Every structure is written in structure tokens, then in C-alpha cells.
Amino acid sequence: MSHKAVNNSYVIVTRDGRFYRVFFRNGLLTDELDHMKTDIQVRGGWNYFDKKMLGADNLYTGEVSNSTFCLFLFVICILYLLILSIVAEGYVEIDAMFSSNGLATTQPLFSFGLISDVQYADIPDGRSFLGVPRYYRHSILVLQRAVKEWNTHQKHMFVINFGDIVDGFCPKDQSLGTVQKVVDEFEMFRGGPVYHMIGNHCLYTLPRSKLLPLLKIQTLDGRAYYDFSPVPEYRFVILDAYDISAIGWPQDHPKTLEAMKILRDKNPNENKNSPDNLEGPERRFVMFNGALGKEQMEWLDGVLLDATKLKQKVIVCCHLPLDPGAANMDTLLWNYDEVMNLIHRYNCVKACLAGHDHIGGYSIDSHGIHHRVFEAALECPPGTNAFGYIDVYDDRISLIGTDRMESTDMHFSPPS
């Protein structure tokens, strides 16, 4: 390529959208331009440079002054910094997907915050039956940091608490005040409602008659299952994992009596909280678990039928896990198999989310349904966290976790 004396600089724009400024030494156009000799667009005109077709004189089309170029760079920098600021504050999230057809961008339909197993109590730290450390006073600090972060994002439509907001070791004379204290922390979330579900530790602390009003679970006859649709495309189903349970109901209640019969039939141990001598999924038949009753199963069937008619995708939420691949066997819902057989009759359920098993877990079952069990806030050493939020798209949900809560992308299987 020939050299040509020039006095001004040029802006070169390649077809991939990048901007270059051509620099000159001693007033000569140098060979530094030669490596861009294919497909170069000169700003100010629309000529494409190829040294076989155009001479160096054609490059004068894009002549700009140094002052104009500096102004151009200044504007670009300001726009770039503004975009970075917006993304950092959480006002805009872009999911860039590259394909053979080029670049496509999507944004989530909505987002929501989540946390599980806070199990707060104003007592010294302790350990689980397996010797795992539990940080009872620190757990409420994890919740406070979670609420602060959710509020900072300013994008979450709601929050879901996956149960066990207080610990069973909470002194009985402090039970009501402790539950109220944790609920008050949840109420600091400014983005929308907080949806609660009950766990075994909730029921160790308070009976249903006192617990459900505090959690704003407004159902009949002590039932703690319900559903809601934040957008027309999605429905969330909150299950009551202790519908049939030896805890939470009066001792002479039919559901308590049914639960005790199940435990006598399935668990030979004198201590019904012990899974000793039980193998595989049979280890789930312990007193700290429970089951869905017949009425709730019929309700769930109706909800899934209705969601199918409305072409809604369903996210099932339950304190107890519903898949052996995602959790320890002794943490499963007693009748998880019956529940999943019902769910598998429909194609609308895309994910089942749970707590209870503090180490967390993840699996995809035989029907392509995602099962994600969330790590417990209770077992976070001081200064660490376990909470997150989920971005919900048309074809997937994406968990963005903090510290101990692992992030997980869950892409939906195509309809069968």
C-alpha cells in the first residue's frame, strides 16, 4: 500500500462495529492500516477499502479533526459509564445468547428472592444431630443482609421463605416474640409480598392456630397450602408438607393419628425421629417429616389441571424435598412418590423447589423436572451467607446464589 502525507486523523469503523482511530507518524499514513485492509468502512462516507480497488486518496472521505474525535470519545465514554452504573444497580439485566443467526438478548419475565431454614433463636451456637455447627444468632443477620440486597436490586416482585424461620430449641416463653421478630425482618422487603411455607421447626415452636396468622397464610381449617400467579404465564404452588404430621396438630386430631399410624407401620425404632435400621428412601419415615393428605392431593390435581388449561408453567414449592436425587433420604416427604406421580401426569410443572436438607442439592428427574433444594441460612458461619434470587424466563429459571447457596441454571425440557 502506498504512503500518503496527511495532516488529520481518521475514524475507521469495521463491519463488526468496532471503532478505530488511524494514527500517523511524521505526517505519513503508515502500514498500521494495512492489517485492516479488508472490509473497512470510513466514517463520513460509506466506501469500503480494499487496496486492490481503492487508492490511498479515497481515505480522505473520513477526515475528522482532533477536537471532533475527542468529543466523540468523550460521549462514548459517558454512555459506557452510564450503562455500567445501571447494570451495577440491578436496573437492567441482559442475557446475551450467541447463535448462528447472531446476537439475541432477552430479559427475565420477573425475579424473586428466596431463603430457607433461617432457624433463628437467641441461644448459643450448637450442632445438629450429626455434629454440623449451627449459628442460631447469626442466622437473622443472614436474613437482614438478604433483605437489604433484595431491596437494593429493586427488581424482585416477591420473596419466598422456604420454611423453618425459627429453631425448635427456641425457649418456649420466647416463641411468639421470636417468630414475630423474624417475620418483621421479612416485612422489611419493599418490593412486594413475602410468601411463607411452614417447616417442622416452625411447628415445634408454635401451633398452627398461632403460626399461620403471623405468616399471613390465610386459609381455612389450618391448611397451609395455596397458589398464586405473579404473571399470566406462571403459577406458583406452595405445598403444606406437614398436612399429615405428628407435630403441629392437636394430639387427638385425625391428621396426627394418621401420621402416628404411618410411623408405627414404617419405623420400628422407639425414637420415631431416628432413621436407624431403615434403608434407602424408607429412611424418610421419621417424625420430623410429613405428608400431603388426600384433600391436598385433590386440590393439587385441580390446580395443575387449571394451569394446563391456561397454558401456565408451574413452580412447586415445598419445605420437604420431592426427589431422592436432590436430597438425603431422611429428609424426603413421606409420600413424595405419590406427589410426583401426580405431577408427572401433567407437563406444566417445570421445577420443584425445597428446603429442609441444609446442605442443599440438585437433580433432574425422569420427566425433565428440576429439583433444587436450598442451602440453609442457619449453617452459615459468621460473615457468610446463603440466600439468592431467581430470574424467571419463558424457557428456564436461573438461580443466582450468594456464598453458600450455589447458582443454578435450570433449562426446561421441550414439551412432549
User: 102-112, pLDDT tens digit by residue?
Assistant: 333 489 999 99
114, burial (CB in 10 Å: exposed 0-12, middle 13-18, buried 19+): buried
Q: What is the pLDDT of residues 113-132, one digit of tens each?
A: 999 999 999 999 999 888 99
Question: Is the confidence at residue 62, as pLDDT, over 90?
Answer: no
Grid coordinates representing 66 are 482532533
* All CATH 3.60.21.10 domain ranges in the chain, comma separated: 109-411
Work out the pLDDT band at 69, boundaries 50, 70, 90.
low
Residues 214-219, mean pLDDT to the nearest whole number = 92
Chain segment 285-326, per-residue pLDDT in tens: 999 999 999 999 999 999 999 999 999 999 999 999 999 999
CB 190 within 8 A of CB 153: no
Instruction: Give pTM, 2 decimals.
Output: 0.76
**Mean pLDDT for the stretch of residues 202-220:** 93
Q: Which residues pair with 397 in a beta bridge?
A: 392, 410
- H helix count then E strand count, the chain: 8, 23
Specify the pLDDT at position 74: 73
Q: Which CATH class is domain 109-411?
A: alpha beta
Confidence tier at 67 by pLDDT (50, 70, 90): low
DSSP 290-317: -B--HHHHHHHHHHHHHHHHTT-EEEEE
What is the average pLDDT score of the chain?
84
Strand ranges (E), 288-393: 313-318, 349-354, 361-364, 370-373, 386-392
- What pLDDT score was predicted for residue 70? 62
